[in-house]
Structure 1
């Protein structure tokens, strides 16, 4: 197993066809999916409105810091597959190898997850709708969106972004009208909506409820760093990532925090067996409780489109991550090849894995599905921690070598090295919350505690495997970190071994 061989012959270069306009709209809402549109339903029942909002504020703040760190890294060293490429460069090849495969596996199974969630949402209209009627159509749609390359993928994502912004904005407006008692169809007493309802359900199940919701917030923000991959196919990658760092706070406030606050004002959820069944969005449930069935149906339809968008983004992320890994000699050479402007073999693998969504048909489908998802459970936190550690080590390496920061950094992260350290602490807390919440889960049918460890186990298996087979170093000394941008380009093009 040669972990240090470059991809060899063949075209391994992706075309830079995504425009700044496309990138901006993708930065606003490209990775918003089932995490915020569906998982917040059970989170509200388990943790309460205040726990839900606080956890999203804390994790959102840390995610913004991480995007700033990634922006600084990508402005100085623009490379394809940037975040795990930076792990190779600033931490160690072994850790970069583990992070790359961690990311690929995570998004491979997110494609499966989003397909199943779309099926569950469709069953809002027809509870007995067979999976084999729906899933093949969704997979065909994903193939079609990704068949025309990055440019048309970006155009599709722009259309999906508008849909997501519209449904979340419309929900906030309707929720405000409900709170103001301006919806005649909603006959609930004044104390069952608004701030009174929010206060009554502010904190549920104590610290365990908060930890559970904190874990959900980490899952909901997953994919924000996907912009680092998208930038590799953007016309001006060194400019768009710093721009994304300025857009992300607007996205977090407008499309996460405000809707989540309003959900707690208009939706009452009890913790029972139905909470774990999935398939209903808190936005749709709130319209049902307000006796607005037409809006509930419209919202459900747009939410299916939004989740399809996240599935499409996951196809893009997993295929590009796999191609970038393989082009650096960290995966099979076959997946490094580009045909007709596409990472064709990487896409083939993604769509083959997507067929696992049919496990919902089997008798034990839910059990198998939960264990598969557990493989990706800790991926987001590991990815974000690695980005922040790379940022910290970049700054320390500059100081160690006595170089002026302005000679290396083309754009500096506003939170700086201190911000990245704060984010690392928050993400480590998120990883701990995942395990503690699983052990003490208040859910009626909690998953096996081992499931919460699977994502962590996978990361360290890949890391240890590289350390043993690739004879890797534990940590690159600061004075040996290469700070030359051209070296990053050579590595990115497969001209140097990892």
Structure 2
């Protein structure tokens, strides 16, 4: 039995199942087809996309946060936390990668949620993701400013550095997606060289190749031990378990941003092919750069080292710099600080891009003010970029001592938003999976699909739910009302967005037979150019790398 795909005029075999051709509401109430209003252009090249996949997964959370994780949970505890969060991040990336392979369009996963779960769910997910990423822009700008104090300790210069970095981050995004792609390509290469160099240096020092010739091996796993106590309860085993829990949020911060490649799909050349390649390679990048990096960190420095408690915000608190200093290596700390500075700048750049594109997607479909959907003739959603850029100037709050505490609350409030993003991606995928199957569509014909689905998304939903609930568990051992609100306010905020839009717009949860898998989605022929095999040596090397 065959059914006609009315958009592409082709026959699609249903394997004897009932035909499901979903005819959209002629009034397009939910604005699924925005082809006439979506004016972004596909200017990101394959090398940009592949390196952006790296840029989203390596940042200050790994370079600086791994030291705090080691101090809080010990070498084995931090390794367990990073490995667990890595699997959850990977489940989310696989989910959004497969859905994007079907629909590489503006609006990305918040629109997928609106299209296949419930328009209200997409609204809540979109605004949650926008807020989380927009407030992360000034966070990274502030981190970059603090990193400069490694060389210039005069706090009177902080406002000037903040202004320069803020303007540069905004300008890169205002110039357009091509400049964003080129800048992230450069930053990603720098970060790859830095983390690779740090892992090698750590391994050399561990094996006794440093100036002190001290062969450490797994010495620190035995003394002071593999697991650090949290200092919350008297039972040592329970306390060590709580130590691992305390690292979860820090580890998650290190992984957030991997979905950037999917968000950029509507502005990517050959999006189905390039995003497929990026998603498949991310697993190995997590394994090598995160898991191996955290393992080496736990081998070269004990979790009891008092320097890990440093809150300088510069390379001085990096476990790699600490061990270099101990081993007598003097020049590398400055190089590491420069690399981390570039990472912070890159992260702010990426967060601004991601949040502006999600805001643009919301505006296209009537879930944000319509003026925010305005594009220039070159395909830049300038109104959304300018709106998001305004958040960057919140970084000046850190210049004022009076506003610094308020800003830190604001920052912490957004951390659980990342968990909601992963949670929503996996929930949306389950709806997508069962709707696709109910309508007789074959997901194995997509450019990318995971054989581990839907179990991978079920795993992701389970753990992100746990992460959201335990995010502020420490407050229950020593009560602090402000910390409690910071940790859990995002939960009622998310559901207020969901039920508010649902009540006002009277939306409903889509049944599998009602889901629209066709309207406004470009065909493979419309997005993918023929593959041209490389003929030069440089081209063949680039094909392997990117």
**TM-score (norm. length: structure 1):** 0.89
State the partner residue of 2:497: 462
Summarize the Cα distance change of 1:477–1:406 in structure 2 as closer, same or farther, 3 Å threshold.
closer
- 1:292-339: CA deviations, max 9, x gaps? 231011100111011111111111111111111111111011211112
Summarize the Cα distance change of 1:5–1:393 in structure 2 as closer, same or farther, 3 Å threshold.
closer
Summarize the Cα distance change of 1:266–1:150 in structure 2 as closer, same or farther, 3 Å threshold.
same
Q: CA deviation at 1:21?
A: 1.7
State the partner residue of 1:231: 265
Gaps of 5+ in 2: 1-28, 230-239, 524-546
State the partner residue of 1:64: 90
Q: CA deviation at 1:137?
A: 1.3
Please provide the CA RMSD for this pair: 2.6
State the partner residue of 1:181: 208
**TM-score (norm. length: structure 2):** 0.82
Residue among 370, 387, 390 paired with 2:428: 390
1:49–1:203 Cα contact (<8 Å) kept: yes
Q: Aligned partners of 1:336, 1:203: CA distance in 2, in Å?
A: 50
Q: Give aligned pairs, total.
A: 479
State the partner residue of 1:328: 365
- Structure 1 range deviating more: 445-454 or 28-37: 445-454
Residue among 119, 123, 130 paired with 2:145: 119
Gaps of 5+ in 1: 491-498
Pairing 1:27-426 to 2, within 5 Å after superposition: 27-130=53-156, 131-184=158-211, 186=212, 190=215, 193-199=216-222, 200-205=224-229, 206-270=240-304, 274-279=309-314, 280-339=317-376, 340-401=378-439, 403-405=440-442, 409-426=446-463
- 1:49-98: CA deviations, max 9, x gaps? 11111111112122222222222111122221211111111211111000
- Structure 1 range deviating more: 32-41 or 97-106: 32-41
Q: CA deviation at 1:388?
A: 1.4
2:117–2:428 Cα contact (<8 Å) kept: yes
Summarize the Cα distance change of 1:272–1:428 in structure 2 as closer, same or farther, 3 Å threshold.
farther
Q: CA deviation at 1:410?
A: 4.6
Q: Aligned partners of 2:482, 2:65: CA distance in 1, in Å?
A: 15
Summarize the Cα distance change of 1:171–1:466 in structure 2 as closer, same or farther, 3 Å threshold.
same
SS of 2:152's equivalent in the other structure is coil
Q: CA deviation at 1:285?
A: 2.8
Summarize the Cα distance change of 1:201–1:333 in structure 2 as closer, same or farther, 3 Å threshold.
farther
Residue among 447, 466, 481 paired with 2:515: 481
1:400–1:479 Cα contact (<8 Å) kept: yes
Q: Aligned partners of 1:472, 1:438: CA distance in 2, in Å?
A: 37
Q: Aligned partners of 1:404, 1:347: CA distance in 2, in Å?
A: 37
Summarize the Cα distance change of 1:32–1:437 in structure 2 as closer, same or farther, 3 Å threshold.
farther
Q: Aligned partners of 1:398, 1:423: CA distance in 2, in Å?
A: 20
Q: CA deviation at 1:4?
A: 5.7
- Structure 1 range deviating more: 324-333 or 147-156: 147-156
- 1:150-200: CA deviations, max 9, x gaps? 11211110110010001100001111111111112x37x65xx43111343
1:76–1:408 Cα contact (<8 Å) kept: no
- 1:437-461: CA deviations, max 9, x gaps? 444489xx99712211123232122
1:51–1:203 Cα contact (<8 Å) kept: yes
- 1:211-260: CA deviations, max 9, x gaps? 11112111211111111111211011111222122110121022211111
State the partner residue of 2:465: 428
Q: Aligned partners of 2:256, 2:475: CA distance in 1, in Å?
A: 19
Q: CA deviation at 1:145?
A: 2.0
SS of 1:342's equivalent in the other structure is coil
- Structure 1 range deviating more: 143-152 or 166-175: 143-152
Summarize the Cα distance change of 1:147–1:482 in structure 2 as closer, same or farther, 3 Å threshold.
closer
* Higher relative contact order (CA closer than 8 Å, sequence separation 6+): 1
Q: Aligned partners of 2:151, 2:203: CA distance in 1, in Å?
A: 26
- 1:394-415: CA deviations, max 9, x gaps? 22123334x1425874532121
Q: Aligned partners of 2:369, 2:145: CA distance in 1, in Å?
A: 33
